[in-house]
Amino acid sequence: MQSAVHLKSAHSSSLAYIVGGLLTLMSAVGILLTLILGLLVTPKDAVEGNVFRIFYVHVGTAWNAYAAFFVLFVASVLYLWRGRPVWDRVARIAAEIGLLFTTIVLITGSIWGRPVWGVWWTWDARLTTTLVLWFMDLAYLLLRAYTADEGRAPRYAAIVGIITFIDVPIVQFSVSWWRTLHPQADVLAPGHLAPSMLIALLVSVFAFTILGVALFVQRLRLETVRDDLRELRQRAEELE
Amino acid sequence: MATSHVDSPPALSTQMIAGAALQQWWALLQAEIRSAWRGRETPVTMVVFSLLIVLIFSFAFDLHPNPPGDVLSGVLWTAIIFGGMLGFQRAFPVAGDRGELEGLLVSPVNRSALLFAKVGINVILMCAMELIVLPIGALLFNAPLWKPLILASFFVGTLGFSTLGTLFSALSAEARARELLLPLLLLPISVPLIIASVEEVSQSLVAQPPALSHPWLQLACAYTGLFFFITLAVADNVFDR
């Protein structure tokens, strides 16, 4: 009779455990390497000096924030289309990771801005857009927090997720039309970065990407285990 | 309702469905207007609230009778946006209502017609509010608001903001503490529309020879159109289980 309980985590548990642990370890090594390269190996920036070094973390996390929002978008579309709960879960986790990385992007950017621009914050297009995106993502997660995971709520959340993603380029466009103070970032143009800087940047992007994937895998595993726990509790209540 | 066989597709052409949907929309909008007229507390609260915002701003910024155009535009739009938000919160039923919406959803009424009837009543409520707030604003601050272009900007912005507000009010309808959540969802998504509306009004107020092209008005129109389309596209998802 007890065998009727179907534990999803039992099947995937050991593999997810190993993969998640491995990815976490890899990202830790990668971030350590980024710090060593960024702080010790690369030269000072000709204009900005040592402040420039925060750039490695800034770009690495920014790329991941974009990637997370893209996953949020794709998973939301798939959920509306297919209706499988796993896409809803993927969307939610992507939004959480997106919020984490966007927060780091805003903070590191602000720390960089203080010595270089002389202010912690300026209402420039890219900054404003990122802040608006941060607010939208926060609102999405609050919507998830204030609604149940059943009924129409996940579908509503998926629509909000899609609109959030579509809205980002429009906000960027309208804001840059409105406030054009700020030189465009062109660090990836050839000849702009010293070779060691480029290597540090690539290592950083790679390390933070692995971190994002690791967080994703661990978070998905946690959700699966939680589902199982809920099912077991229900089962226990039925047996009592 | 004039037609009740909307759900039998083979017999009906697209044109007939669209015609039936328009008829239903008109009937539902009339019902919304009657309902808003009976319980007048929503429009009255919206007007008083937005007037209070104008008042608070005039103290907060110590506005003299002739504030610069960009400040005035910002003040008026802020008052309209926050006043409008009070209306959106009432667009969808809360617990303890008499189940009018659930009753309607049992019938095969066109879902887009239902959602756009809500958009319609929100546009009407906001316009009614502006009809009182804008003249008072013009009076208090000596502002020449009665130019066709300024009125057009206010109307386009109102149309867009009502559409967004109705859509997000529907999307947050399942949430606890929904009236707290709505501004958090609605305001960031409205940023392009708010920028465009404020800029258009402010430029019309400031520019001495009237500007020849109106990129901000175009942006407001495009954004409104986009969310019109999105609202139309998701209407079935909003109401169906």
* CA atoms of A233 and B184, how far apart (whole Å): 35
Contact assignment for A146 to B171 by CB distance below 8 Å: no
Q: Output the six-digit token pair for B65.
A: 């009778």
Residues of chain A with Cβ-Cβ distance to B238 below 8 Å are 152, 156, 159
The domain limits of chain A are 12-43+196-225, 57-180
Contact assignment for A132 to B191 by CB distance below 8 Å: yes
Contact assignment for A139 to B177 by CB distance below 8 Å: no
* CA atoms of A25 and A31, how far apart (whole Å): 10
Contact B110, B20 (CB under 8 A): yes
Closest chain B residue to A141, measured at CA: B185
Q: Output the six-digit token pair for A7.
A: 């534990």
**Candidate from A80, A139, A174 with C-beta closest to B195:** A174
Tell me phi and psi for residue A49, to 5 degrees: 75, -145
Closest chain A residue to B229, measured at CA: A163
Q: Output the six-digit token pair for B134.
A: 């804008």
Contact assignment for A163 to B230 by CB distance below 8 Å: yes
Tens digit of pLDDT for each residue in B144-178?
888 888 899 999 999 999 999 999 988 887 788 78
Q: What is the pLDDT of residue A2?
A: 46
Residues of chain A with Cβ-Cβ distance to B230 below 8 Å are 163
Contact assignment for A146 to B181 by CB distance below 8 Å: yes
Tens digit of pLDDT for each residue in B59-102?
888 887 777 888 889 999 999 999 999 888 877 765 446 667 77
Tell me phi and psi for residue A45, to 5 degrees: -75, 140
- Residue-wise DSSP of B61-120: TT--SS--HHHHHHHHHHHHHHHHHHHHHTSSPPTTS--HHHHHHHTT--HHHHHHHHHH
Whether the predicted pLDDT of B114 surpasses 60: yes
Q: Any chain A CB within 8 A of the CB of B202?
A: no
* CA atoms of B226 and A124, how far apart (whole Å): 25
Contact assignment for B192 to A147 by CB distance below 8 Å: no
Per-residue exposure over B186-214, b if at least 16 CB sit within 10 Å of its own CB, e if not: bbbbbbbbbbbbbbbbbbbbeeeeeeeeb
Residues of chain A with Cβ-Cβ distance to B168 below 8 Å are 160
Whether the predicted pLDDT of B207 surpasses 80: no
**Amino acid, res. A41:** V
Neighbours of A114 (CB within 10 A): 12
Tens digit of pLDDT for each residue in A21-69?
899 999 999 999 988 888 888 887 777 778 888 888 898 898 899 899 9
Residue spans of alpha helices (H) in chain B: 14-38, 41-60, 69-89, 100-106, 111-141, 148-171, 178-189, 191-206, 215-239
Residues of chain B with Cβ-Cβ distance to A138 below 8 Å are 184
The answer for residues whose C-beta is within 8 angstroms of residue A65's C-beta and 6 or more apart is A98, A101, A102, A105
* CA atoms of B80 and A210, how far apart (whole Å): 46
- Cα separations (Å) of A162 from A54, A95, B14, B90, B156? 32, 11, 28, 25, 24
Residues of chain A with Cβ-Cβ distance to B237 below 8 Å are 80, 155-156, 159
Contact A200, A41 (CB under 8 A): yes
Neighbours of B225 (CB within 10 A): 14
What mean pLDDT is predicted for residues A74-96?
Answer: 92
Tell me A49's DSSP state.
B
**pLDDT exceeding 70 applies to what percent of chain A?**
88
- The SS3 call for residue A45 is strand
Tens digit of pLDDT for each residue in A149-193?
777 788 889 999 999 888 878 877 777 777 654 445 555 555 567
Asked whether this complex has an ipTM greater than 0.85, the answer is no
